Amino acid sequence: MNSESMEGARVPLKGWQQAAVALGSAIGALMDPRRADLIAALGETTGKPAFYRVLERMRNSSEGREVLLERPRVITSQVSHAWDMPENTFGSAYAKFMGSRNFSPDDRPPVRFMDTEELAYVATRAREVHDFWHVLFRLPTNLIGESALKVIEFEQMLLPMCAMSVVGGSARFSEKQRTLFFRHYFPWSMRAGIASTDLMCIYYEKHFHENLEDVRKRWGITPCPNPVA
């Protein structure tokens, strides 16, 4: 099992405190959508029932139970072997995705508002596999791509924050972006999220060495088609 504990980051909240954090985070995130910490807090305080459901699904899956037992983290010290994977593998695609954008897997804010250490891990895992999903669904990291991935995340986990992010993101679209999103990305993401396997029950790090197209087929993932095509 991973030795890194979730305990130190947890902040216990009473009902009214949770509501206050959710409201404050929602207002702050609307005012400044770049505040990842506020968006994260909103997701945690409004998403506990959804995370409990994900936890139960993981417990009922052999690979999900392995993830819960070993608690892998998507941090540099644990995923750096992806950079050594051969061309056309899932790991190589992930490494290229991160490197081309100068992203670091260590940049995500910690989970703070979960009731138990196990639930905190599930919320952390949901946050950390986000970039794996970008690679698998072949989605850009611009506002349209992030909004499309939030649709898939909502269908996979039913997190209220994902639905709120789609509404908030589409409100910031230009007219051209809005037309493109609702004609192309939104219908595709609705179909893709439903067709995929339970993506929270996958031990992604153990599939880095496998062919990217093979894992996509096995997990029922349809990459986003080129909107021009």
Asked if residue 128 belongs to a known ligand binding site, the reply is no
Asked if residue 213 belongs to a known ligand binding site, the reply is no
User: And the tokens for 114?
Assistant: 């979960």
User: And the tokens for 197?
Assistant: 């396997």
Compute the residue count for the chain.
229
Torsions phi, psi for 22 (to 5 deg): -60, -45
| Residue whose token pair is 């789609």 | 166
Residue 39 DSSP SS3: helix
Asked if residue 146 belongs to a known ligand binding site, the reply is yes
Give CA–CA dist 40/35, Å, rounded: 9
DSSP string, 62-91: HHHHHHHHH----SHHHHGGGGGSPTTBHH
Question: What distance lies between CA 94 and its chain's CA centroid?
Answer: 14
Give CA–CA dist 154/160, Å, rounded: 7
The annotation places the binding site for Zn(2+) at 130-131, 134, 146
The annotation places the binding site at 130-131, 134, 146
